[in-house]
Amino acid sequence: MNALTLEELSAATAEKANTLEMLPGQERFANPVTYEQADETIEVTNTWSRVIRSGGEVVGFVRAYFDPDYATEELRCCVWRVSVSASAQGKGVGRFAIEAVKQEALRRGFSHLSVLWQSGDEGPGSFFRKLGFIETGQSDYGDVIGTLPLG
């Protein structure tokens, strides 16, 4: 795989980011219920959306949210979505995406990063645990809350 680069989401890349082909069964884990419920209350200006390219091709997408005053603590500094194309999975794209979010969170002064996921064998829980996220609770909607200390 070519070197990975990060690029701000734009009109030119949005369609590619939204149509990344995932492995069978992964689609149902793409958006935990907690995020669907919170989506209407977030400030768009606090979202951080980036595509990941390899050799010019969009191979991944990451969306994070940064709002130190958000009412729900686990959503104040949070990874909202990581999508990696099926052909690029297992090649460091997801790890690269999370590292980019960590760096942005540190730049903004946060001390920890959260992520929520739905339980299930094909879900992202094992991926997040490999990166150091520790299960710290469950959301009101039954999603697992994972937390990663920063710094």
CATH code of the domain containing 135: 3.40.630.30
Decide if 115 contacts 100 (C-beta within 8 A): no
pLDDT of residue 25: 57
Segment 133-148 shows an average pLDDT of: 94
d(CA 126, CA 130): 6
Question: Number of structural domains, the chain?
Answer: 1
Q: How would you classify the pairing of strands 47-54 and 4-8?
A: antiparallel
Structure confidence by residue, pLDDT tens digits, 17-33: 777 776 555 555 455 43
- Please tell me the pTM assigned to this model: 0.84
Segment 91-116 shows an average pLDDT of: 97
Segment 97-124 shows an average pLDDT of: 92
Range of the domain at 22: 4-149
pLDDT at 69 over 70: yes
pLDDT of residue 141: 86
What one-character-per-residue DSSP string does 40-86 give?
GGS-GGGEEEEEEEETTEEEEEEEEEE-TT-SSGGGSEEEEEEEE-G
Q: Residue 44's closest CA among 65, 20, 59?
A: 65
